[in-house]
């Protein structure tokens, strides 16, 4: 049998590059790039994307042989749909050629820089949102303007090049799951700029736009089995393919330098004045229950989200979370119905075609918990409401980062603070002491929350049940 050919790009006309996107991961290729490809197909414009990997050459090595074309595979319960996406014009690996990245970001033709760099990519304190000036990459980038390591370093040094060249700035559009991601990005960018050059900071403050966004599409990591299944279905090899659910929602604050942006609104994105209510809804209703299912589901022995919600006890837990602890803290965004939104979330989680690993969602919990669970906790405590489900989710994270599962097997805990978390867990004595020690980690728990007796007691009781009865029995006993 002849070997299957590699995916080849069509001979469609190539637009100029108008967007530099930092973070070429699966979510960007399942979400941002398809929206932009559709917007160009509908309304034209030079919105070709140059994407940049800040670390690894892996995705570059998969995309370049295909001339940056790839397949987005939509996995619905009833079957798969395949779309070849051709919005990426080129890809760079920043450590190989930082100058080329800075040149591209400083090019007047580039109007937007966007990011999917995960929560940890902003080099901020998750509990306070402040830039970590002592972060090794930030410290490096403040004295290496020609070869940054961090996204923030690239953004500020590129803006400085535009300022010095008399070129208008780009719009800085974050697309990560962070609360008020526009203002947060503005805060860390200005924090870096002020440490570098006061005049630059003043220029950025006056001229750069940081539109907030809410992004939503469940996109599990691509496996070799996914690549092989695509080859079997389509007859070509595509090592850069991505798998995603049918649902997508993009809410964008319509605030761009000179109004320059693709016609995303023409292909389903919502351009609004204020994204905050949509962000809160999504971060708390989706990501909050996602993380709760991830930690407790993993400990209960479930590999994926769909397997976890096949257990009625876990469905009971997240329904109780939505009804009693999450939606009471979420103002209903314009045009949304929160109860319908949560019911739709459960259907999305139950999609058997989406193999979204609990282990993948469990990553980087120290960067995720504040906006996914702890803000919700704080709002409930302030309103005098109990938080049994949220406390169980936090306790599940604490048990998970202990690094040993309920069968005694090691858990590969991926987190920027993993060493410190594990050391804190191991060096503290009995379960009550472990909870207190972990609550004292200020990058995750703001002191006033860590010292709240209602919260501390609820997390301790949940943690003790997890340690004594295990996750499955604890969730089954939840009411």
Asked if 264 and 39 count as a contact pair (C-beta separation under 8 A), the reply is: yes
Among 43, 231, 360, 440, binds ligand CS2 (CB under 6 A): 360
Q: 10 Å Cβ neighbour count for 468?
A: 10
The answer for residues whose C-beta is within 8 angstroms of residue 292's C-beta and 6 or more apart is: 317, 318, 321, 373, 389, 390, 392, 393, 396
Least separation in angstroms between residue 290's CB and ligand CS2 is: 4
User: In Å, how far are 112, 205, 244, 248, 344 from 320, measured between CA atoms?
Assistant: 41, 43, 27, 25, 15
Nearer to ligand CS2, 22 or 354 (CB): 354
Q: Please state, in angstroms and rounded to a whole number, the distance separating the CA atoms of residues 253 and 397.
A: 32
Least separation in angstroms between residue 365's CB and ligand CS2 is: 9
Nearer to ligand CS2, 360 or 418 (CB): 360
Lay out the site mask for ligand CS2 across 163-192 (x = CB under 6 A, - = otherwise).
--------------x---------------
Q: Which residue is nearest to ligand CS2 (CB)?
A: 290
**216 lies in the binding site for ligand CS2 (CB under 6 A):** yes
The answer for residues whose C-beta is within 8 angstroms of residue 6's C-beta and 6 or more apart is: 65, 66, 236, 237, 238
**350 lies in the binding site for ligand CS2 (CB under 6 A):** no
Least separation in angstroms between residue 64's CB and ligand CS2 is: 26
Least separation in angstroms between residue 269's CB and ligand CS2 is: 14
Least separation in angstroms between residue 357's CB and ligand CS2 is: 9
Cross-strand bridge partners of residue 83: 72
Q: Which stretch binds ligand CS2 (CB under 6 A): 49-57, 150-158, 213-221, 435-443?
A: 213-221
Among 361, 374, 421, 435, binds ligand CS2 (CB under 6 A): 361
Least separation in angstroms between residue 106's CB and ligand CS2 is: 31
The b-or-e profile of 216-246 (16+ CB within 10 A means b, else e) is: bbbbbebeeebbebbbeebebbbbbbbbbbb
The answer for residues whose C-beta is within 8 angstroms of residue 380's C-beta and 6 or more apart is: 325, 328, 329, 386, 387, 390
Q: Please state, in angstroms and rounded to a whole number, the distance separating the CA atoms of residues 176 and 119.
A: 7
Least separation in angstroms between residue 305's CB and ligand CS2 is: 9
Least separation in angstroms between residue 383's CB and ligand CS2 is: 25
Q: Which stretch binds ligand CS2 (CB under 6 A): 125-133, 210-218, 388-396, 405-413?
A: 210-218
Residues in region 381-410 near ligand CS2 by CB under 6 A = none
Least separation in angstroms between residue 44's CB and ligand CS2 is: 29
H-helix segments, 197-329 = 198-207, 224-234, 276-281, 288-299, 305-308, 312-320
Lay out the site mask for ligand CS2 across 286-305 (x = CB under 6 A, - = otherwise).
xx--x---------------
- Residue at token pair 């050391």: 423
Size of the site for ligand CS2 (CB under 6 A): 9
**318 lies in the binding site for ligand CS2 (CB under 6 A):** no
Nearer to ligand CS2, 175 or 201 (CB): 175
The b-or-e profile of 9-23 (16+ CB within 10 A means b, else e) is: eeeeeebebbbbbbb
Q: Please state, in angstroms and rounded to a whole number, the distance separating the CA atoms of residues 76 and 80.
A: 6
**355 lies in the binding site for ligand CS2 (CB under 6 A):** no
**218 lies in the binding site for ligand CS2 (CB under 6 A):** yes
Nearer to ligand CS2, 105 or 251 (CB): 251
What does the binding site for ligand CS2 look like in residue numbers (CB under 6 A)?
Answer: 177, 216-218, 286-287, 290, 360-361
């Amino acid at each position: 049998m002849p070997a299957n050919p590699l995916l080849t790009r069509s001979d469609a006309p190539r637009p100029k590059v108008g967007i530099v996107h930092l973070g070429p991961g699966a979510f960007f290729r399942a979400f941002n790039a398809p929206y932009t490809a559709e917007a160009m197909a509908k309304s034209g414009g030079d919105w070709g994307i140059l994407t940049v990997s800040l670390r690894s050459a892996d995705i570059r090595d998969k995309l370049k042989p295909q001339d940056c074309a790839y397949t987005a595979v939509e996995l619905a319960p009833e079957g798969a749909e395949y779309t070849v996406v051709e919005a990426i014009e080129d890809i760079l690996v920043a450590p190989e050629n930082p100058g080329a990245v800075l040149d591209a970001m400083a090019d007047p033709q580039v109007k937007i820089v966007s990011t999917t760099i995960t929560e940890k990519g902003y080099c901020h304190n998750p509990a306070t949102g402040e830039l970590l000036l002592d972060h090794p990459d930030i410290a490096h980038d403040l004295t290496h303007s020609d070869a940054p390591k961090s996204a923030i370093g690239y953004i500020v040094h590129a803006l400085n090049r535009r300022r010095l060249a008399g070129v208008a700035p780009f719009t800085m559009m974050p697309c990560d799951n962070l609360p008020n991601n526009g203002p947060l990005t503005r805060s860390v960018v200005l924090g870096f700029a002020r440490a570098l050059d006061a005049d630059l900071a003043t220029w950025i403050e006056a001229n750069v736009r940081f539109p907030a966004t809410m992004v939503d599409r469940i996109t599990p990591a691509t496996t070799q089995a996914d690549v092989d299944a695509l080859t079997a279905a389509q007859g070509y090899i595509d090592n850069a393919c991505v798998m995603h659910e049918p649902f997508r929602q993009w809410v964008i604050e319509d605030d761009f330098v000179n109004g320059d942006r693709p016609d995303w609104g023409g292909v389903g994105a919502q351009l609004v004045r204020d994204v905050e209510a949509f962000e809160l809804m999504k971060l708390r209703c989706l990501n909050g229950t996602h993380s709760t299912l991830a930690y407790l589901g993993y400990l209960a022995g479930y590999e994926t989200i769909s397997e976890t919600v096949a257990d009625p006890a876990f469905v009971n837990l997240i329904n109780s979370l939505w009804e009693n602890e999450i939606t009471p803290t979420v103002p209903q965004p314009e045009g949304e119905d929160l109860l319908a939104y949560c019911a739709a979330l459960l259907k999305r989680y139950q999609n058997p075609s989406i193999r979204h690993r609990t282990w993948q969602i469990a990553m980087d919990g120290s960067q995720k918990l504040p906006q996914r669970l702890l803000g919700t906790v704080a709002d409930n405590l302030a309103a005098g409401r109990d938080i049994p489900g949220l406390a169980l989710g936090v306790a599940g994270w604490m048990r998970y980062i202990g690094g040993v599962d309920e069968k005694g097997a090691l858990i590969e805990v991926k987190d920027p603070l993993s060493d410190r978390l594990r050391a804190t867990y191991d060096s503290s004595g009995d379960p009550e002491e472990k909870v207190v020690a972990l609550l004292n980690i200020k990058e995750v728990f703001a002191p006033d929350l860590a010292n709240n007796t209602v919260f501390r007691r609820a997390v301790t009781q949940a943690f003790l049940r997890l340690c004594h009865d295990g996750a499955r029995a604890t969730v089954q006993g939840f009411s």
